[in-house]
Structure 1
Amino acid sequence: MNLFSTLAAILFALLPAAVAAGSSTEDLVQRYRPMVDTCWWAAQTPQARSDCSGLLYDACSRGEPDGQATVGMAGCMAAEASYWDARLNQQWDRVLPLALAADAQESDPGYAVRAEKLVQAQRAWITFRDAQCGYDHAVFGAGSLARVVYPSCLAEMTFDRVLDLVAIGADLGG
């Protein structure tokens, strides 16, 4: 490898860290979350809530100085994924106790397995999500779009799982 190639490789590797130093994922989430929160709480149906997916990314990619560059797009998409991951954890913390309560009310202990099955399903979903997003990332190999594809997949799949958990919670009476 010649000197130019070596320097270019080092610069390319350090570029995301330099950009991230300006705005961390959490900084981006905090900056753009109010519009997504407003959308989420105003929407009353899963169809209406579908409009909330991608809002943080769209606002971030338009509002950040590097938002239209690949590295900025990747940072904005990572913020979108982080937002939905936090929302997923909120829903999980709401739904698991509902499943446990439903199990406690079950007259036949053989059917008091909602919480256990929910935990199994969540673990399987996490494994599937990570594998699917890893595959989507691998499709692009060393291409620059690979940096955007992985967090995009995480955001989309996590958003869909949030909607699943909302529905499960409603089915459990919550």
Structure 2
Amino acid sequence: MDITMRRAGWRLGALVLAAAVAGLPARGLAADICDSDSADQATLNQCAERDRAAADRALNQVYQQVVQRLSGPDLQDRRKALVAAQRAWVAFRDAQCRFDTVAVDGGSASGMVSAGCLTGLTQARTARLKTYLACQEGDMSCPVPPAP
């Protein structure tokens, strides 16, 4: 191997190491900035969107658990009803948040306020769906059977 190839390899290795080291504090800083009072509006919007995405992932996880409980052939009507209710809920959530955020439409805080609204309603829906996973045997008010 000639000297030019060794230098190129060393430079590439140094760049990879520098990028890795530089990335570690940046990730920690990104997580901390959302908890800071000194974040600018763009950062606050990003943090609110991150929270919205996390709430959405949690909802989808719990929703899939409820769907799984309704997977038996004798539960198809309940499953269809759940799917219809979820679609209607998504439409309600989106319309409600459009209304709740109309006053800030087009403003710099619009993304943060919208994401906050979506997060709150999504967390409430997740909590509601979780109650179905805790139904007791014989609870006639619960449409989801208890876990086997």
Q: Give the TM-score of the pair, scaled to structure 2.
A: 0.65
Match of 2:103 among 134, 139, 158: 139
Superposed structure 1 runs of 4+ greater than 6 Å apart: none
Separation in structure 2 between the aligned mates of residue 79 and residue 158 of structure 1, nearest angstrom: 13
Q: Secondary structure of the residue that 2:101 maps to in structure 1? A: helix
Ranked by relative contact order (alpha carbons within 8 Å, sequence separation 6 or more), the top structure is 2
Per the normalisation by structure 1, the TM-score is 0.56
Residue 74 in structure 1 maps to residue 38 in structure 2 = no
1:170 aligns with 2:145: no
* Residue 67 of structure 1: how far off its partner (Å): 6.3
Q: Which has the larger radius of gyration?
A: 2
Higher helix proportion? 1
1:115 aligns with 2:79: yes
For structure 1, which runs of at least 5 residues remain unmatched after alignment? 1-26, 33-58, 107-111
Unmatched segments (≥5 aa) in structure 2 = 1-26, 136-144
1:128 to 92, 98, 102: 92
How many Å separate the matches in 2 of 1:60 and 1:162?
27
2-side partners of 1:131 and 1:62: how far apart?
A: 29
Q: 3-state DSSP class of the match of 1:113? A: helix
Aligned CA distance change for structure 1 residues 71 and 92 (closer, same or farther; 3 Å) = same
Query: What is the RMSD computed on CA atoms of the aligned residues?
Result: 2.5
Cα offset, 1:141, TM superposition: 2.5
Post-superposition offset of 1:90: 0.8
